[in-house]
Amino acid sequence: MSNTPRAGVRLSGLLAALCLALGVLVAGCGGGDDGGDGGDGSTKKVDMAAELKKPANITVWAWTPGTEEAVKMFEQAYPNIKVKLQNVGQGPDHYRKVRTVLKSGKGLPDVIHMEFQFIPSFTLTKSLLDLTPYLPDNFLSNYPEWIQKQINLDGKIYGVPWDTGPLGLIYRKDLLDKAGIKTPIKTWDEFAEAAIKYHEANPKSYLVNMPGGQTGQWLALFWQNGARPFTTDPENFKADLTDEKITQVTEFWDKLYRAGAISHDADFNDAWYQGFAKDKYAGWLSAAWGPIFLQDYTKNSKGAWRAQPLPQWQEGQNVSGNWGGSTLAVLKQSKSPAAATEFARWILTERKPVEMFSFDRFLFPPQNFMLQNQSWLTKPYDFYGGQEVNKVYADIASTVDKDWEWDPIHEYVATTGDAIKGKSVDQGKGATAALQPWEAAVKKYAEQQGLKVAD
Amino acid sequence: MTQATATAAARPARVPGGRRRRPGSRHSLTGFLFTLPFMALFLAMFIAPLVYALYLSLFREQLVGGNTFVGFDNYSEGLKDEQFIDGIQRIALFMVVQVPVMLFLALVFALILDAGTVLFARLFRVGFFVPYAVPTVIAALMWGFLYGKDFGPFADVADWLNVPPPNFLGEDLMLWSIANVVTWTYTGYNMIILYAALRAIPAELYEAAAVDGAGPVRTAIHIKLPLLRPALLLCSIFSVIGSFQLFAEPQIFYDIAPDVIGKAYTPNLYVYNLAFADQRLNYAAALSFLLGFVVFVVSYAVMYSSRRQEARR
């Protein structure tokens, strides 16, 4: 292999030039900027009747089981609109894919699954379509006020509510009765006593498991206590995670961690599911959608579960928080905004699909008409031994504080919260010690990203 | 020997006063044309994204405020980033322990198989190689179950013996649990490479050694080992580069033990989370180049020290 050096030099020079050219070309094409503001400020209504007669193809990214049935119902009602449903992952994976296609500008879906807490993060990057021109007037009045405030930002409507996650406590009545614990547990003080008593009677079992991470659950508990740590406005971003309403909650749990009365295993993985199957956890501070996940693992305990409102900080109070809950939103660059919005609106407000989601799929509905639907309210569930659980959660849902705001950088807030809090609890330092570093990290990130952080 | 004579024949005969025709230029052109498809794909899929990443690393795009040129700011931030430096130190420790252990095991297995005294040698060869054929994600998931503190088999054994089970996925043991998975996966792969190199050793050397009265162990140490040096170097370089890129196992273990793994357990995981969870693509690109540079330096050090050992003989 003895080529002459000169040919070699010429060849490698050519190669280098080609590399550079290609690289510059790619760099020039890349870095797609966010789409222009296309006609903002016009709340002029679109003639939906005319728009919906046109044929359209829309793509929907959602992960909720049962959506396929809703799609079929929609396609029957609108034969000229074809819907492609894809599940690109749940939670963080889904949002990562959405961010990726937004950046590349190719392969964008029309309708996306969008949890409440992420809406401001996507309106910050101007990715969501204002649905007001495509929705009927008085659309917001279909929902309780706190839900209205979650989707109605800056006078625009960014999502059609799908389900909500009012937070309650579900527990194994048989295990608690055996340990001599009186149910329902009314206050957090009673809860602490019950946790210690239960664990002493059952050294291998815990009243509940409270992972150090799982920011969504912790924020719901802060929400219950009346904390308001975030603001949505990027010009005036507030992140106050060391407020005494928050430390009251974390110190409560730190005491229980130190006493060894509560476990802090990571949730939503195999070992955690097994924990329920093998009676390691006697309860769960669960949102209304919680039992969907437990169905397969609680065959032995079916019928022994009960639901109750969250314990309260003061005797006689009745407030809760919300964990999760989703909407369907439409991307601004959608080529069929009318069809996309109508899809979201139709499957989430028409009686047939909503009843399918609520009755068959355990989802907790946000619509007023369902929350007042007697047959839904009084439906007995085998999992809960015949308890009319929906009534319990509907009462809880009406007590959620409506002035809670989400931050516009939630992917970062949630993952950093998980990491910092989780590590702190796991190492025995408790959750309170993690609040200051978490707040500092969030503020630093917000400044880096160009938000104006309020002091 | 044979190589030297080949080159001598290729040297052209000097034609006095005539034009010197470069030897084999037509060969080099056809050769280049054959590599063109590969080159095109290589440029498009490897070099172009690399240049684009370099371009990205010189900018900063904010969620509010758009794209600005920041020069080497991302790099200087990376050099001061504690999480990044911790990750690199962790991986360096991992590499210093895991690579020698794995290569030693691979070497021993290869030597044993080569000694020819093992029954069902072919079965063992395949058996040792099978873990490499298991996709990394599956392997990590499987080991995640095995390591389980409450319901894994080690926990069951510990229960039976009435001792608390070792917390394989806790802070102290996590790195070595991952090292175990990596060793399990790649020992067979390295063993095959070393075994192939051993098979290439000419049999006359063994006969000469036998005549001199060398037993199997002395043959192994004084004949096989020195001739395995190039193969061992190859395996070392691959292992060093591979261990710096550790990603799949921590990513899978994150779901099981998020408190220990966090966002930045290994530099690669940190870059991934920066890019996709924090949307800081520019900073992630800069860190990738810094990591690449570290890998380059370490690989070069490994090759240089081996070359110096060669020269000393």
Residues A355, A319 share a domain:
no
Find tokens 């690393």 and name the residue: B57
For residue A53, pLDDT beyond 70: yes
Q: Does A99 touch chain B (CB under 8 A)?
A: yes
- A149 closest CA partner among A451, A403, A409, A337: A403
* pLDDT at site A175: 93
pLDDT in tens, B47-64: 999 999 999 999 998 888
* pLDDT at site B15: 54
What CA–CA distance (Å, rounded) separates A27 from B58?
12
Candidates A19, A266, A418; nearest CB to B47: A19
Interchain CB distance below 8 Å, A269 and B48: no
What CA–CA distance (Å, rounded) separates A154 from A156?
5
Which of B52, B81, B82, B86 is best to mutate for the A interface (most A CBs within 10 A)? B52
Interchain CB distance below 8 Å, A266 and B65: no
Interchain CB distance below 8 Å, A268 and B255: yes
Task: Give B-chain residues touching A416 at CB under 8 angstroms.
Answer: 263
Candidates A270, A271, A423; nearest CB to B262: A423
Task: Give A-chain residues touching B260 at CB under 8 angstroms.
Answer: 423, 426
Interchain CB distance below 8 Å, B51 and A20: yes
For residue B7, pLDDT beyond 60: no
SS (H, E, C) chain A: CCCCHHHHHHHHHHHHHHHHHHHHHHHHHCCCCCCCCCCCCCCCCCCHHHHCCCCEEEEEECCCCCHHHHHHHHHHHCCCEEEEEECCCCCHHHHHHHHHHHHHCCCCCCEEEEEHHHHHHHHHCCCECCCHHHCCCCHHHHCCHHHHHHHEECCEECCEEEEEEEEEEEEEHHHHHHCCCCCCCCEHHHHHHHHHHHHHHCCCCECCECCCCCHHHHHHHHHHCCCCCECCCHHHECECCCCHHHHHHHHHHHHHHHCCCCECCCCCCHHHHHHHHCCCECEEEEECCHHHHHHHHCCCCCCCEEEEECCECCCCCCCECEEEEEEEEEECCCCCHHHHHHHHHHHHHCHHHHHHHHHHCCCCCCCHHHHCCHHHHCCCCCCCCCCCHHHHHHHHHCCECCCCCCCCCHHHHHHHHHHHHHHHHHCCCCCHHHHHHHHHHHHHHHHHCCCCECC
For residue A390, pLDDT beyond 50: yes
Structure tokens at A98: 């959405």
Residue A20: inside a domain: no
What CA–CA distance (Å, rounded) separates A450 from A124?
11
For residue A3, pLDDT beyond 60: no
Share of chain B above pLDDT 70, in %: 91
* pLDDT at site A169: 93
Burial bucket for residue A192 (CB in 10 Å: 0-12, 13-18, 19+): buried
* pLDDT at site A397: 82
pLDDT in tens, A122-137: 999 899 999 999 999 8
Residue A237: inside a domain: yes
Residues A371, A305 share a domain:
no
A window 372-401, beta carbon within 8 A of B: none
- E strand or H helix that includes residue B43: none
Label residue B23 by pLDDT band (50, 70, 90). low
What CA–CA distance (Å, rounded) separates A331 from A341?
10
Candidates B52, B258, B277; nearest CB to A422: B258
Structure tokens at B50: 């690399």
Residue A13: inside a domain: no
Q: Taking residues A272-289, what's their average pLDDT?
A: 91
- For residue A200, the domain's CATH number is 3.40.190.10
Do A343 and A211 meet the contact criterion of CB atoms below 8 Å apart?
no
What CA–CA distance (Å, rounded) separates A423 from A262?
16
Q: Taking residues B76-87, what's their average pLDDT?
A: 93
For residue A85, pLDDT beyond 70: yes
Residues A282, A351 share a domain:
no
- E strand or H helix that includes residue B69: strand B66-69
pLDDT in tens, B128-161: 899 999 999 999 999 988 988 777 888 888 888 8
- pTM metric for this prediction: 0.81
Label residue A20 by pLDDT band (50, 70, 90). low
Contacts of B19 (CB under 8 A, 6+ apart): none
pLDDT in tens, A193-248: 999 999 999 999 999 999 998 999 999 999 999 999 999 998 999 999 999 999 99
Tell which wins on pLDDT, A14 or B49.
Answer: B49
Residue A21: inside a domain: no
Contacts of A220 (CB under 8 A, 6+ apart): A165, A167, A287, A321, A322, A323
Q: Measure in Å the smallest separation between the Cα of B183 and chain A Cα atoms.
A: 25
Which of A1, A3, A218 is best to mutate for the B interface (most B CBs within 10 A)? A3
How far the first Cα of chain A sits from its last, in Å, is 68
* pLDDT at site A36: 38
Q: Taking residues A410-421, what's their average pLDDT?
A: 91
CATH 3.90.1150.10: does it fit domain B75-312? no
What CA–CA distance (Å, rounded) separates B127 from B140?
19
* pLDDT at site A24: 53
- E strand or H helix that includes residue B24: none
Query: Which one of A332, A355, A376 terminates a domain?
Result: A376
Arithmetic mean of pLDDT over chain A: 87
Label residue B1 by pLDDT band (50, 70, 90). very low
How many distinct structural domains can be found in chain A? Answer: 2
Residues A246, A177 share a domain:
yes
Label residue B283 by pLDDT band (50, 70, 90). very high
Length in residues, chain A: 455
- B77 closest CA partner among B282, B299, B234, B275: B282
Residues A370, A312 share a domain:
no
Do B268 and B291 meet the contact criterion of CB atoms below 8 Å apart?
yes
What CA–CA distance (Å, rounded) separates A327 from A131?
12
pLDDT in tens, B117-127: 778 888 888 89
Tell which wins on pLDDT, A381 or A84.
Answer: A84
Residues A169, A236 share a domain:
yes
Candidates B10, B56, B256; nearest CB to A2: B10
Residues A271, A180 share a domain:
yes
Question: Residue A188 sits in which domain range?
Answer: 165-323+379-448
Residues A431, A293 share a domain:
yes
Rg of the Cα atoms in chain B: 25
Tell which wins on pLDDT, B83 or B23.
Answer: B83
Interchain CB distance below 8 Å, B52 and A26: yes
Q: Taking residues A357-383, what's their average pLDDT?
A: 88
Share of chain A above pLDDT 90, in %: 60
For residue A9, pLDDT beyond 60: no
Q: Helix or strand or coil: residue B68?
A: strand
Residues A334, A434 share a domain:
no
For residue A43, pLDDT beyond 80: no
Arithmetic mean of pLDDT over chain B: 86
What CA–CA distance (Å, rounded) separates A5 from A372?
85
Residue A37: inside a domain: no
pLDDT in tens, B177-224: 999 999 999 999 999 999 999 989 888 888 888 888 888 888 888 888
For residue A26, pLDDT beyond 60: no
Residues A265, A118 share a domain:
no
Length in residues, chain B: 313
Residue A31: inside a domain: no
Candidates A23, A124, A411; nearest CB to B51: A23
What CA–CA distance (Å, rounded) separates A311 from A173?
16
Structure tokens at A337: 């905004």
